[in-house]
Structure 1
Amino acid sequence: MAGYIAIPKLSIAMARATIVEWKAEEGEHVEKDSVVLVIETEKTSWQVKADLTGYLHILVGEGTEVPPGRVVGLLAESIEELQQIQKDPENEIFIDSGDAEEGHQKETATAEKAHPQPVFPRERAPISPVARKMAEEHMIDVGQVVGTGPGGRITKEDIEKAIEKKHDLKAGKLPADADYHSKKERSAIPLTGMRKRISDNMYRSLSTSAQMTIMGEMDMTEIVKLKRSFQSSENNDDLRVTYIDLLVMLISRALIDHRDVNCSVIGNEIKIWEDINIGVAVAVGSEGLIVPVVRDADKKRLGELSQCIRTLVNKAQTGDLSPDDVTGGTFTLTTLGKGGISVFQTPILNQQESAILGTGPITDKPVVRNNQIMIVPMMPYSLTFDHRAINGFGAEKFISKIQALSQTPALLLV
């Protein structure tokens, strides 16, 4: 009897997954525990391994979105069974999504985290067998074709477009994108994987919310003093804090008094969240940003916050984040860090949150106080918020609360 390859339920919030790539061809012999499939949820990539040895029959193709529990492939025990399955294709099959999540079903595939994949040069781009045959017949250089399939895979449709353009050029007909073709291309980077997810999420965010940004600078004198006092306390892991740790602490405490900022617009309601879960944007190589979430940040002491953030950042950089690590956020912090340019930014909301704070590096600047010029460590900030849920006055009060807390940060340690 053929075994199932099903979509595992990787988190409570997971509703769909996209089939990115089958690691084996139709009818190919697959060994137990080998990676047979790569899927993507909204935030992460996962590899699906085979729980048994068999011959692969693909039920659902690449690029298709499916729910957890959907059986997307079968593993036949013999060639004869494979041929019978291919003659009599199965209808949609589902297993209990709880079984998929736990991985206890005997003949169900299991899943583990996929580490970021390198972007290969165009001449090594993956291509479907049908597309390769068409390219050879029509003498199309696949190295010049940008694949639109999952993982940058060159599809039949991509080759058909290349053939059409080739015929148009021979006939002296300029294509609609003639200006594009008049330029010499150096390279092409497929908009796939994490880049594609970020692109889609940012576009969706700007398209579905009324985003407004207020900007200013914040006096960080007391925060800098506190950070330096921690640096003088050697060999104490609880005091190895960063400015990000301190900012998360300030934000979480400010949200306690400004719950109206800790909200989401869902349907025709503005939902005020009891939980204060702060997302911290982390750069992942050249792929972009991922936002792991510090849950119940308002209930953690500084040492706990610091340890939690270090753990999440390490998991993000090694590709070990689980779906639960990147879901459930109610507010996001993104920072340019030490090497960033000291300018204002306009961060884009992390859906379905209603506010995000962007900060720049802390730099010494001349400031006039009491008719005197003083050198003060200042930090640029940009607060983007959904104007449907938060008005300008509410956003200003929230920023004022953060500024007030930053003047007496030691009180937050009590």
Structure 2
Amino acid sequence: MIDVLVPVEQEGTKAVVRNWLKRIGQRVEENEPLVELETDKVAMEVPAPASGVLREIVLDTDADAVPGAVLGRIATEAEAEAAPSVPEPPLVGKPDRRERPSTGSGRTGEGRENRLSPSVKRAVLQHDLNPEHISGTGRNGRITRDDVDRAIEAATRVSKPVEGIIPASTGDIRSHFIPHDRMRLAIAENMHRSVTDAPHVTAVFEADFSAIMAHREAHKAAYAKKGVKLTYTAYLVAAAAEAMKVAPAINSRWHADRLELYDDINIGVGTALGTKGLIVPVVRKVQQLNLKGIAAQLDELVEKARGEKLTSADIRGGTFTISNHGVSGSLFAAPIIINQPQSAILGVGKLEKRVVVREVGGVDTIQIRPMAYVSLTIDHRVVDGHQTNGWLTRFVEVLENWPAD
């Protein structure tokens, strides 16, 4: 027997079994997707470690899946050859109840198990569904999250062909429903947990982008010849890493009994996927990279994100995050929700020309400069205001004094 294990490394604080793609007795091929796991950040497929027959499911749908745990077991190739084939089960419809008891605690009169897992109960309440009207395809007829998703889609199809009319005191309100996809639900849960667990505090500075604009204009062609796209984000990542030297606790994680300070600076950059949501690919070990190395990693990650080719490894292990919300026109946003379990997040607003006062030769002058608001939102359990302001002070200094060469 060959164990099917939960990956040791995963993105997210917890994982649950979302769905088994094979049933006991079915043949599987090596590297064929076998079971889906879902963390609070991403969904992932666990492939079969070998060819054979699925003989045992140890962790069923909605079970907690800790790293390294046994999900199930596959019989060896020799045993698989002697095993009878089992037809694929239907994806929808009522479950086979022939082997289920008709009575007992936690079961309906038909022998169906009526206990709901936390994620199923949350989804049922959120979408105002009656569990008695949902056919369960899990073990012993248990309702799985996939069963709920199918029920939501069915309800949406019924109400979408004609605009739905909802009576209201202010008149008829026309509406239609769009079911949440997995990414949106994961984002919602993660954001809610972040603001619940961490007291958010935001400090705002203003940065003059003149120096990095001049440097980029002078060097972007040379970078392009080497196949590297030089963006403003690369400068932001480099400046953030430099600022960590004056306030190392910004690059940390809060634990109930201790603070974990990271030696590596792995900076995630929020990348919008249109209506699909937001994903945060990670530039790793920034403290070891020069501007070219940062730009090269960013270019590769952004292209993979837009092509929907990011892997779990590309978004795992971030220690700090940058939200460049200004690219969509926002001057300022607060609080930008911290990407748990990190301790802080940098926000960068829209770059625009503003009138500022600059002293030249002891005389105040009025100048037009490219300016942007930069904010640092921190977990106040981890750091205080003087550390936050010290970090931002150094971050702005690096940007405004970027050398020309």
Work out whether the TM-score is over 0.5: yes
Corresponding residue of 1:142: none
1:299 corresponds to 2:288: yes
Contact 1:238/1:303, CA 8 A, preserved across alignment: no
Identity %: 27
* Amino acid across the alignment from 1:217: E
**Residues 345 and 30 (structure 1 numbering): CA distance in 2 closer, same or farther, change over 3 Å?**
same
Q: 1:396 is aligned with what amino acid? A: N
- Equivalent residue for 2:178? 188
Q: Secondary structure at the match of 2:244?
A: helix
Kept in 2, the 8 Å contact 1:6–1:72? The answer is yes
3-state DSSP class of the match of 1:257?
coil
Give the 3 Å change call, closer, same or farther, for CA 367–150 of structure 1 in structure 2. farther
Partner of 1:149: 145
State which of 20, 23, 28 in structure 1 corresponds to 2:21: 23
1:131 matched residue in structure 2: 134
Secondary structure at 2:34's aligned position in 1?
A: strand
The CA distance in 2 between the partners of 1:355 and 1:326, in whole Å, is 17
Q: Displacement of 1:391 after TM fit? A: 1.3
Q: 1:339 to 1:185 in 2, by over 3 A?
A: closer
CA contact (8 A) 2:134 2:148 kept: no
Residue 125 of structure 1 is matched in structure 2 by none
Are 1:348 and 2:308 counterparts?
Answer: no
Distance 1:55 1:298 in 2: 46
Q: Distance in 2 between matches of 1:222 and 1:80?
A: 68
Q: Is the 8 A contact 1:11 1:323 kept in 2?
A: no
Distance in 2 between residues matched to 1:330 and 1:34, nearest whole Å:
32
The reply on whether 1:47 has 2:45 as its aligned counterpart is: yes
TM-score calculated relative to the size of structure 2: 0.70
Question: What is the Cα deviation at residue 253 of structure 1?
Answer: 1.0
Q: CA deviation at 1:367?
A: 2.2
Distance 2:238 2:72 in 1: 47
Indicate the residue corresponding to 1:11 in structure 2. Answer: 9
CA gap of 1:6–1:372, structure 2 versus 1, over 3 A, is same
Cα drift, residue 330 of structure 1: 2.4
Q: State the 1:280 CA deviation.
A: 1.6
1:7–1:71 contact (8 Å) kept in structure 2: yes
Cα deviation for residue 37 of structure 1 reads 2.1
Shift in Å at residue 59 of structure 1?
4.5
| 3-state secondary structure, aligned to 2:327 | coil
8 Å contact 2:22–2:34 — kept in the other structure? yes
Q: Is 1:63–1:150's contact at 8 Å kept on the other side of the alignment? A: no
**Amino acid corresponding to residue 294 of structure 1 in structure 2:** V
**1:322-380 CA distances to partner (integer Å, 9 max, x unpaired)?**
44433333221110253333333421111222111011221112224455432210112
Q: CA 1:360–1:184 in 2, change beyond 3 Å: closer, same or farther? A: same
Tell me the secondary structure at the aligned position of residue 237 of structure 2: helix
**Pair 1:344–1:17, CA change in 2 (3 A):** closer
1:281 touches 1:289 (CA, 8 Å); kept in 2?
yes
Hey, what's the Cα distance between the residues in 2 that align with 1:17 and 1:268?
23
Task: State the TM-score, normalizing by the size of structure 1.
Answer: 0.68
Indicate yes or no: 2:385 matched with 1:403: no
Q: What is the correspondence of 1:230-309 to structure 2 with a 5 Å cutoff?
A: 230-233=219-222, 235-237=224-226, 240-309=229-298
Aligned to 2:215: 226
Q: How far 1:302 sits from its partner (Å)?
A: 0.8
Q: Which moved further from structure 2: 221-230 or 324-333? A: 324-333
Check whether the contact 2:332–2:348 (CA below 8 A) recurs between aligned residues. no
Find 2:321's aligned residue among 332, 340, 343.
Answer: 332
- Which residue number in structure 2 is paired with residue 64 of structure 1? 63
- The Cα shift of 1:29 comes to 5.4
Aligned letter for 2:229? R
1:197 aligns with 2:200: no
**How far, CA to CA, are the matches of 1:388 and 1:67 in structure 2?**
27
2:207–2:373 Cα contact (<8 Å) kept: yes
After TM superposition, give the deviation of residue 32 of structure 1 in Å: 5.6
Q: Does the CA-based 8 Å contact 1:238-1:304 persist in structure 2?
A: no
Instruction: Give the Å deviation of 1:318.
Output: 3.9
Residue aligning to 2:105: none
Measure, in 1, the Cα distance between the counterparts of 2:287 and 2:35: 39
Closer, same or farther: CA 235–327 of 1 in aligned 2, 3 Å: closer
Q: What number of residue pairs does the alignment pair up?
A: 335
Aligned in 2, Cα 1:4/1:285: closer, same or farther, shift over 3 Å?
A: farther
1:364 aligns with 2:362: no
> Partner of 2:378: helix, strand, or coil?
strand
> Following the alignment from structure 1 to structure 2, what is the Cα–Cα distance between the partners of residues 133 and 239?
51
Aligned-residue offset at 1:205: 1.1
Return the alpha-carbon distance in structure 1 between the equivalents of residues 287 and 320 of structure 2.
12
Instruction: Say which SS state the counterpart of residue 361 (structure 1) adopts.
Output: coil
In 1, Cα distance between the equivalents of 2:31 and 2:264?
39
Aligned counterpart, 2:35? 37
